[in-house]
Structure 1
C-alpha cells in the first residue's frame, strides 16, 4: 500500500473516523471544515452495535461508553389509549447487544480528541463547494471556485446537503421528507422516565413525541436527555407563530410527565428543527472523490442508523484502500461492499417512516393494531432487534471488522464502574 495524500471535507463523525483510520494506515490526511472551530451539530443519537464496533476498532469504545446511556429497549405507546405500539428489545437477539444513546457533542468530542492527539491537521473556515478530478488528482474548490487543496483522494463527509455530492456525476435526486422534528437537549431533573429506553408517544402518525436518555457531553458534566417532537416542516413556522405556550399545552395534553422538560424551554431558539431527505448515491464515488455518511446516503431517522452507517462507511472505505494500491479499484470495492447493507436499510427506513410520520390514518391504524400484534410473535422480536441493531445483514466482514463480544464489553464496563467507585487508600 502506497502512502496517499487525502483531503477529508467535513469534521463530523464520518470525517473524523475516516481520518483516524487512514492516518493509522500511514496516509497523509488533513480535514477541511467550514466553521471557525470544528463542533458538533444536533442533539442526541443512538449508537448501535454497528457504530460501537467501529469505535471499538479505533480504541474509543470505553470513552464513549463512559459518556452514553445504555439503551436496552425502544418503547412507544398511543398517547390517548396507552396501548403499546412499539416494543423492541435488544435481548431478543442472542449475544448481549445493546444500543448507546449519546449527545452528539459526546461522540464528536471523543473522535475529535483522538484526531487532535494523533496530530491530524484540521483547516477551518474553508467553505467547500465542489470537488473535481484532474488526471490522477482530486481538487477541492471553495465558493470562489479557487483550488484549496490537491490530493490523491478526496473524501466528502459534509452531510446530506453536500454541494460536493450535488455536483458529482453520480449525484442522486433528493426526496425531501415532509416531516422533521424539533429537538432539544435538556436536564432530566424531576422527570419520571426509563433511563435505559427510548420512549415515545404517538397520536396516529401525525404526532410523535420522544425522550432519549443521552448521557453526558463531557466526563465532568451531568446526564441529560434529548427531547423531540415530530412536526411537518411546512407547518413549523405556523407552530412558532402560535406561541410556545400553545405548543407546550398540546404536549402536556398528550404526555403530562414531560412537564419538567417543557418548563426548561423559554424560547424557540432552544429548539432545533431537523429536516430529513431521502437520497442514495450509487456508486458512492465519482472520479477520485469518495462519499461517506449522509453525503452518500440519507433518510429519515426512524431506525436510528445515520451515525452508525457513517462510521461503517468510513471503516469500509479504509479497509478497501488497505487492500490495493489502485485507488480506482479500491473505490469500486468500497461501493460494492456497502451496496447491499446500505440499500437494505435505506429501503427499510423509507418503508417504516409513513407508519410514524405521515398524514395517513390508515397506516397508523395498521401500526397500532396489526403490526404491533405481529411484532410480539416470534421470530418478529428478533427480526426487529436485528433491524434496529443494523445487523440484519452483516456489515462487518466487508469493513474488515469483527463484531464486539458484547458480553465481554458489558463485563469490562461493570468492572470499570466498580473500580471507579472504590476509594484508593495510601
Structure 2
C-alpha cells in the first residue's frame, strides 16, 4: 500500500502510539488534540502482558519498567470479616507473566517524549466535532464548523465521549454505569502495603476501596500509589456535601491502614471522579475512519484492560495497514483482527462488574462464598490469571505481535527496579 496521509484525533496513549507505529511504516501522520497542551488524564492503571508487548514492539518497554511497579497478585478481602474474596496470581500461568502498575503520567510522558523526539506534528487546541467524506478523503471538522484537515484515513483515539464515534454510522448504544470511583495519586510514605499487589477491601458490592502501587512519573521521583474508592455516581455530590472528614472516617472504619493516604487529602479537588460507560462499536470502522481504544469500546475498569485494549487496537490496525493490498481491505482486516478479543473481554467485564460494583446483596454473597471458593481450585486459578492478563484468547497473532519472553523481561526489570531505587536514594 502506498504511504497514507493519516489524521489522528486525540493525543492520549492510543493516539500517540498510533502516531509512532504508523510513521515508522512510512505513513504521514498528524495528531490533533483538543487541549492547548497535551497532558495525561487520570491516576494509575495496570499494564498487562498484552499492553507491555505492544510497548515492547515500540521499543518503550524498558522505559516503562523503570517507572512502574511490578504486580504479581490481585488480592481482595471483605472489609468487616477479613475473608479473602479475590486472590489472582499471575504465576498461576506458565511463562513468568506479570502486570505493571504505572501512573498515567508515566505512560503519557514516555509516549509523548517518543513522539516529539521523532518529530511528529501535534496540533493542539483543536476541538473536533465531525468527520465527513469528500472527494475520497476523510475531512475533520472542528466545533466551529471549519475544516481541520483532509486525510486518506482518520484514526479516532479521542476517548469514550468522542463526538466522532457518537456521530458515526456505526455509533454504539451507550450504557452509563451506575458506579464510578474517586481516584487520587498519593505518596506511599508511612503506608503499610504490598508493593507488588493490587489490594482491595469490599463491603458487599456497594463499597470497594483499593490501593495500587503505581511507581513514579519520572525517573528519580519517589514511588506513589493510586488510591480509589467506588461509589454511585449519583451520590457523589451528597458525599461531598457531607464533608471530607466524614468520608475519611468511613474509609478508616473499613481500612485503618489507609490513614497515611487520607492525611494527604485536604480538599476534594485532589480527588477525580471517574465515570464509566459500557459501549462496543461493531465494527470499529466507518467510512475512512478507524476507531481505537475507548472510542471503539469502553466499560468499567474492573478487569484492568482499558489501556491494553487500546494499544492492541493500534497494533492490529498498523499490522492491517502494513499487510493489506488497499485501505478498504486493511480496515476490514483490522475489524476482523480485533472482533473476538474485544467481544470476549467486553462481555467478561459486563459480567464481572456487578459482583464488585452494584447494589446487589445476592451477587456480593455469591462472590464471597461460591465464587471465592471456586476461584481457589487449580483450573480456575489459571483461568482467572489468563483473564487478568488479557490472554484468555490469543490477542497477539491477529495484531502481528510476538509475545515477550517474560522471564527475560522480568530478569531485566529487576535491574531497572534496583537502579530506580538507587537513584531515589541518591
TM-score by length of structure 2 reads 0.98
Distance 1:59 1:203, change over 3 A: same
Q: After superposition, what is the alpha-carbon deviation per residue over 1:96-139, rounded to whole angstroms, capped at 9, x for unaligned?
A: 00000000000001100110111100000000011122242101
The yes-or-no answer on 1:40 pairing with 2:40 is yes
Q: Distance in 1 between matches of 2:413 and 2:192?
A: 26
Q: Which residue of 1 aligns with 2:170?
A: 170
Structure 2 partner of 1:361: 361
Cα distance change on mapping 1:142 and 1:421 into 2, 3 Å:
closer
Q: Structure 1 CA distance, aligned partners of 2:254 and 2:57? A: 42
Distance 2:87 2:194 in 1: 13
Q: Distance in 2 between matches of 1:321 and 1:421?
A: 41
Report the counterpart of residue 182 of structure 2 in structure 1. 182
TM superposition shift of 1:326: 1.1
Aligned-partner Cα distance in 1 for 2:370–2:124:
51
| TM-aligned CA deviation for residue 415 of structure 1 | 4.2
- Alpha-carbon shift at residue 321 of structure 1 (Å): 0.4
Deviations 1:129-164 (A, max 9, x none): 111222421011000111110000000000000011
Equivalent residue, structure 2, for 1:209: 209
1:405 aligns with 2:405: yes
1:226 deviates by 0.2
Asked if the contact 1:141–1:149 (Cα under 8 Å) also holds between the matched residues in 2, the reply is yes
Retained in 2: the 8 A contact 1:34–1:125? yes
Contact 1:2 1:325 in 2 (8 A): no
Check the 8 A contact 1:133/1:289 in 2, yes or no: no
Show the counterpart of 2:199: 199
Find the residue that maps to 1:229 and give its secondary structure: strand
SS at match of 2:67: coil
Write out per-residue CA displacement over residues 183-216 of structure 1, whole angstroms, 9 at most, x where no aligned residue: 0000011100000000000000000000000000
> The residue matched to 2:408 in structure 1 has which SS?
helix
Q: In the TM superposition, what is the alpha-carbon distance from 1:413 to its structure 2 partner?
A: 2.4
Query: Which residue pairs with 1:93 in the alignment?
Result: 93
SS in 1 for 2:227: strand
Alpha-carbon separation, structure 2, partners of 1:414 and 1:254: 34
Quote how far apart the aligned CAs of 1:417 are: 5.4
Contact 2:66/2:420 (<8 A) preserved? no
- In structure 2, the partner of 1:303 is 303
SS in 1 for 2:56: helix
Give a deviation string over 1:31-84, Cα, whole Å, max 9, x none: 000111100000000000000000000000000000000000000000000000
**In 1, Cα distance between equivalents of 2:248 and 2:222:** 25
SS at match of 1:304: coil
Instruction: Identify unmatched segments of 5+ residues in structure 2.
Output: none
Match of residue 241 from structure 1: 241
Q: Is the 8 A contact 2:34 2:126 kept in 1?
A: yes
**Cα shift at 1:416:** 4.8
Report the equivalent of 2:127.
127
- Note if 1:159 corresponds to 2:151: no
Distance 2:89 2:418 in 1: 26
8 Å CA contact 1:183–1:271 kept in 2: the answer is yes
**Residue 102 (structure 2) aligns with:** 102
Contact 1:184–1:228 at 8 Å: present in 2 too?
A: yes
Partner of 1:287: 287
* Corresponding residue SS for 2:160: coil
Displacement of 1:8 in angstroms is: 0.1
User: Separation in 1 of the partners of 2:129 and 2:249?
Assistant: 43
Distance 1:420 1:78 in 2: 34
Cα RMSD after superposing both structures: 1.2
Q: CA deviation at 1:411?
A: 1.8
- Is 2:270 the counterpart of 1:255? no
For residues 279-331 of structure 1, what are the alpha-carbon distances to aligned partners after superposition, in whole Å with 9 as ceiling and x for unaligned? 00000000000000000000000000000000000000000000124111110
Q: Hey, what does 1:380 align to over in structure 2?
A: 380
Cα distance in 2 for partners of 1:60, 1:190 equals 32
Residues 373-424 of structure 1: per-residue CA shift (max 9 Å, x gap): 000012000000000000000000011000000001112223455678999x
2:378 counterpart SS class? coil
- For 2:84 and 2:190, locate their aligned partners in 1 and report how far apart those are by CA, in whole Å: 24
TM-score by length of 1: 0.98
1:139 & 1:344 partners in 2: Cα distance? 33
Secondary structure in structure 1 of the residue aligned to 2:40: coil
Q: Is the 8 A contact 1:205 1:357 kept in 2?
A: yes
Count of equivalent residues: 423
Q: How many Å separate the matches in 1 of 2:383 and 2:257?
A: 31
- Secondary structure, in 3 states, of the residue corresponding to 1:141? strand
Contact 1:170-1:285 within 8 A present in 2 as well: yes
> Is contact 2:65-2:417 (8 Å) kept?
no
